[in-house]
């Protein structure tokens, strides 16, 4: 079945440093979504990428979708303490997994002031 | 406030108890989902309902029984659970179910502890 792997599992940074999390799917995706979950909270949708090679920006966050539509990344520039939380990618399958949304394990980001 | 409301927020139950989790969405969405979130594991999709019809059951044990009386309400009935079922249970909704899917709106979850 479809698998979505996300690395790293944990990331500790000093405030002001950059952060990147990577997501890889075992199958080609129709789209990929990113979510953020604050400690004690619930996942909140950030963005959806659909096109091969797509790049989208939201202030300090940059999202990329690979050319083969099997991998994606989220990059945060100059992290702030408000960025702490767990970042999940969720791939919506193509092929035999058509339509199924599979979440990665998440990357837990800690930002030290 | 996400438009998806879950009750209760916290639940402690014995292994012989029967309880139900409730989810209500005020977004006019057609699809609703139950997810399980355990420590150090990815979000696990349990059930999918699209226009009140169950379209997916991800090999969930029968001690978990979903019910979707209408497109706005979703229940998860629990009975004879095991301690390993302790987790955060998240309800979500989206405008359309698979394959269209789209952005998922999550409720705040029910933190379940089985003793």
Q: Which of A106, A81, A82 is nearest to A4 (CA)?
A: A106
- List the single residue in A41, A44, A103 with the smallest CB-CB distance to B42: A103
Backbone angles phi, psi at A29, to 5 degrees: -100, 150
Query: What average pLDDT does this structure show over A18-30?
Result: 95
A and B: number of Cβ contacts within 8 A: 54
CA A59/CA A57 separation, integer angstroms: 6
pLDDT beyond 70 at A36: yes
Could you tell me which residues of chain A have a Cβ less than 8 Å from any Cβ in chain B?
4, 30, 33, 35, 41-45, 48, 88, 90, 92, 98-106
pLDDT beyond 90 at B4: yes
Could you tell me which residues of chain B have a Cβ less than 8 Å from any Cβ in chain A?
2, 40-43, 45, 56, 90, 97-109
CA A86/CA B43 separation, integer angstroms: 12
pLDDT tens digits, B6-23: 999 999 999 999 999 999
pLDDT beyond 90 at A2: no
CA A30/CA A1 separation, integer angstroms: 15
* Mutation for testing the B interface, residue in A98, A99, A102, A104 having most B CBs under 10 Å: A99
pLDDT beyond 80 at B2: no
Percent of residues, chain B, with pLDDT higher than 70: 94
pLDDT beyond 70 at B55: yes
Cα separation values, A10 from A20, A79, A86, B44, B103, Å: 11, 15, 9, 20, 25
| Secondary structure (DSSP) of A69-87 | SSEEEEEESS--GGG-EEE
* Mutation for testing the A interface, residue in B7, B43, B102, B103 having most A CBs under 10 Å: B43
Taking CB atoms and an 8 Å cutoff, what residues of chain A touch B105? 45
Beta-carbon separation of B42 and A105 below 8 A: yes
Beta-carbon separation of A42 and B2 below 8 A: yes
The alpha carbon of residue A23 is apart from the nearest alpha carbon of chain B, in Å, by 13
Which CATH number is correct for A4-112, 3.40.50.20, 2.60.40.10, 2.60.300.12, 3.40.50.970? 2.60.40.10
pLDDT tens digits, A63-95: 999 999 999 999 999 999 999 999 999 998 765
> Given CA atoms B94, B33, A57, A16 in this order, what sign does their dihedral have?
positive
Of residues B63 and B53, more confidence is placed in: B63
């Amino acid at each position: 079945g479809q698998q979505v792997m996300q690395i790293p599992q944990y990331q500790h940074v000093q405030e002001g440093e950059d952060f990147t999390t990577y997501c890889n799917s075992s199958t080609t995706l129709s789209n990929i979504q990113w979510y953020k979950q604050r400690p004690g909270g619930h996942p909140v949708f950030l963005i959806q990428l659909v096109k091969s090679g797509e790049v989208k920006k939201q202030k300090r966050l940059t999202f990329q979708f690979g050319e083969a539509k099997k991998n994606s990344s989220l990059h945060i520039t100059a992290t702030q303490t408000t960025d702490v939380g767990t970042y999940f990618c969720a791939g919506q399958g193509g092929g035999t997994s058509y339509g199924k949304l599979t979440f990665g394990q998440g990357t837990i980001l800690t930002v030290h002031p | 406030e996400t438009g998806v409301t879950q009750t209760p927020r916290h639940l402690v139950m014995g292994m012989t108890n029967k309880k139900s989790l409730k989810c209500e969405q005020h977004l006019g969405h057609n699809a609703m989902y139950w997810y399980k979130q355990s420590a150090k594991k990815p979000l696990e999709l349990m059930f999918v309902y699209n226009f009140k019809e169950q379209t997916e059951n991800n090999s969930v044990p029968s001690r978990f029984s979903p019910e979707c009386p209408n497109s706005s309400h979703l229940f998860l009935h629990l009975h004879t659970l095991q301690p390993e079922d302790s987790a955060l249970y998240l309800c979500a909704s989206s405008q359309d179910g698979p394959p269209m899917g789209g952005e998922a709106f999550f409720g705040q979850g029910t933190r379940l502890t089985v003793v």
